[in-house]
Amino acid sequence: MPQYDFDLFTIGAGSGGVAASRRAGSYGARVGICEDSRIGGTCVIRGCVPKKLLVYGSSFADAFVDSAAYGWSVGEVSFNWGKLIANKNKEIDRLEGIYRKLLKDSNCALFEARGRIVDPHTIEVGGKRVTAANILVATGAWPELPKIPGIEHAITSNEALDLTTLPKRIVIVGGGYIAVEFAGIFAGVGAEVTELIRADEILRGFDEDIRSNLAIEMKQRGIKIMARQHVAEIKKTPAGFLLRLESGATLEADCVMYATGRNPKSRNIGLEEVGVTLNAKGAIQVDEGSRTAVSNIYAIGDVTDRLNLTPVAIAEGRALAETLFNNNPMTISLENVASAIFTQPPAATVGMTERAAREKGFAVDIYRTRFRPMKHTLSGREERIMMKLVVDRASDRVLGCHMVGPDAPEIIQSLGVAITCGATKKQFDRTMAVHPTSAEEFVTLRDKVPEPKAVAAE
């Protein structure tokens, strides 16, 4: 008789948990997985996928306007928010069904209930206890809300994806990628959008040229960005909501959305009781192999707060399954992971920012361009593409690629291969361009940006 009911039991059926469980199941492991919400997790149910569908929906506004210069007479157009949400929900239902089938086909036993660790080999789930040789925690993260008067009137990105009616005026609090993405969505479908940020610029942690250039494009689309602002109180009024800011200013809105951060979902599932270490934010502390302080308990994805991206969670999960059940020890690198911001226009990045490279001691050459895309030479839209390379002067290796503009995520994904392979600027220069495209600018950049005065003086 087996010592345990399962070889692996996964708590959380999001992208990372499902990937690990399926891969383990394919190698013959006996796998159980539990989820107390919908199958698919943040990315499929309340994150990347539904958000991008809304981005697609809002982007048609540009297409209708721009088409006139290309000979099209579109006529009167109208937008139905309810129809977009309904169609988005149908697609999410379809994807959830696929996730369920994938688990079933991989011989993973699904428990639709909350899981709690009782001891290093026992999980309580749905009123019963099961045992496992190994436990994987993949519970993700959840939006964080500050403790201010009236915060109960605010929504998060979770609820924003399911609003039954489109607000005419929305205030979005936060300057990260979720905030700027939703600002673009709501502005694109006609809402009046005000974004309140605590810093001087949006997108802390991204390259400065992405931050400044994207802010310019957002403002040109009518999004009002108010820097160095803190909300003191939210009040419900007959006309909607009144926000009182610490600066003394007030704002009126029909909807208030907070996107000020997410916290790992690690509390009250028995982790600390069995010896798993959490940091002050609640992130599970793991080694490079995703192992916690308890030797047979592992954690992957957003609950570890390392690099909170869906492909990273999937890669971590698959690497763990390879290690435990295929005699193929694996770890993944968190360096040079490409990422995108699905704003309008979108932005994308891979590798080091200019600031990070300089702080790490690299003497860098910067190549940067800003130009109007060919499409808008006829449409007349005042939109600019920004492209940037950060190059190590000593080795000529390209340390980072950054872009704001149409198709940025698709272009940067390909450049991620080059950065991972250690490509040099000379190799970029030797690559033949595809003309006419925007992407060709990355292999035709020739002129270095002058050194910042502060750096040149050193």
* 264 phi and psi angles, rounded to 5 deg: -60, 140
376 labelled catalytic: no
Alpha helix segments (H runs only) across 106-163: 157-160
Side chain identity at 313, as an amino acid letter? Answer: A
- CB burial string 255-270: b at 16+ within 10 A, e below: bbbbbbebbbbbeebb
**Nearby residues of 242 by Cβ (< 8 Å), 6 or more positions away:** 234, 235, 250, 251, 252
**Nearby residues of 177 by Cβ (< 8 Å), 6 or more positions away:** 203, 341
Could you say which DSSP state residue 424 is in? B
List Cα–Cα distances, 453 to 99, 449, 458, in angstroms: 54, 12, 9
Give the relative orientation of helices 15-26 and 310-325 as an angle to the nearest 10 degrees.
30
Confirm if 209 and 357 have CB atoms less than 8 A apart. no
**255-258 β-sheet, strand order:** 224-226, 192-196, 169-173, 255-258
Residue 193 tokens read as 């959008």
Which of 230, 376, 402, 435 is catalytic? The answer is 435
Report the SS3 class of residue 263: strand
Q: Strands 115-119 and 364-371, how do they pair?
A: unpaired
- Residues taking part in catalysis: 435
